[in-house]
Amino acid sequence: MTEELEVVRHDAVLVVTLNRPRRRNAMNGTMARALAAAMDELDADPSLVVGVLTGAGGAFCAGMDLAAFLAGDVPDVPGRGLGGITRTPPQTPLIAAVEGYALAGGLELALACDLIVAAEDATFGLPETTRGLIAGAGGLVRLPRRIPPGVALQYALTGESFGAAEAAGWGLVNAVTPSGSALDKALKLAERIAANGPLAVRVTKEVVTQAPDWPADTLWDRQQELLDHVLASDDAREGAAAFAEKRSPHWTGR
């Protein structure tokens, strides 16, 4: 990888840490390419069930590194967006553990995650308009789907920020924790997910995140196709056998 990104495995959980604390983990090209590679690792290994994305030094991510941007270093991965995940999030569930700032591209990274755990002093926002820019890495698309659209529009137009309590009230944040404990809480949540069947977890994410965009006349057939794939899997048989035999299941992800 790179010193700007740390990747550590905790059993079935992959923890990825943005590691530019002096820049509040602002995203540059090197970090973006490393993050894309980490997401490829997460998806390629069937024994990994969930990922956690966090930031070092008390901040999640302050967005794109504007100094690097001015020097021609754009933190996009071709076809995959900011950090390699905003256009193509991983198939594996991903939890954002947010301390401090999640602004601009930082919020867009968090929105590309499936669940968000935030410290009580976390700060979210899309300040791009204050810099003459727009939140083009998914913020304008995803935020109105996660909080009331009128509220999302207000924050996108003004560039103002909001806190963890507001985010939790709208359902954007799954849990609010004391400062400094977001990663610990996210890991506990990840462990609860990782205890389940890997294939069932991935397909569950696929249906929940993609079904709203499926045409109504194909929705049930597309869901059934995915359901049939899960029902025919080794994990489905193992789950049933473990329940009948009153033991813990041994998942293979197949």
Distance between CA 38 and CA 177 in Å, rounded?
A: 26
126: nearest Cα among 149, 160, 78, 76: 160
Q: Are residues 229 and 118 in the same domain?
A: no
Q: Which are the catalytic amino acids?
A: 108, 128
Q: Are residues 174 and 204 in the same domain?
A: no
Q: Are residues 217 and 131 in the same domain?
A: no
Residue 254's pLDDT is what? Answer: 82
Residue 243's pLDDT is what? Answer: 92
Q: Are residues 109 and 160 in the same domain?
A: yes
Tokens of residue 2, six digits = 């790179």
Angle at 89 (CA atoms; ends 76, 148), nearest 5 degrees: 100
Instruction: Tell me the residue range of the domain where 203 lies.
Output: 198-244
**Which is it for strands 175-177 and 115-119: parallel, antiparallel or unpaired?**
parallel
Angle at 105 (CA atoms; ends 78, 203), nearest 5 degrees: 65
Averaged pLDDT in 10-residue chunks for the chain of 254 residues: 88 96 93 96 94 97 86 88 95 97 97 98 96 93 96 97 96 97 98 95 94 93 94 92 92 84
Is 254 inside any structural domain?
no
Distance between CA 170 and CA 124 in Å, rounded?
A: 13
> Is residue 20 within 8 Å of 4, Cβ to Cβ?
yes
Q: Are residues 203 and 189 in the same domain?
A: no
Residue 1's pLDDT is what? Answer: 55
> Is residue 250 within 8 Å of 238, Cβ to Cβ?
yes
> Is residue 181 within 8 Å of 119, Cβ to Cβ?
yes
Distance between CA 222 and CA 212 in Å, rounded?
A: 12
Looking at the 3D structure of the chain, how many domains does it have? 2
Residue 95's pLDDT is what? Answer: 98
Report how far apart, in Å, the C-alpha atoms of 236 and of each of 13, 49, 207, 233 are: 21, 16, 17, 5
Q: Are residues 66 and 118 in the same domain?
A: yes
Helices 149-158 and 139-146: crossing angle in degrees, nearest 10, is: 140
Residue 71's pLDDT is what? Answer: 84
Q: Are residues 86 and 168 in the same domain?
A: yes
Q: Are residues 146 and 214 in the same domain?
A: no
Q: Are residues 94 and 151 in the same domain?
A: yes
Is 214 inside any structural domain?
yes
Q: Are residues 109 and 203 in the same domain?
A: no
Which CATH number is 111's domain given? 3.90.226.10
Other Cβ atoms less than 10 A from the Cβ of 243: the count is: 10
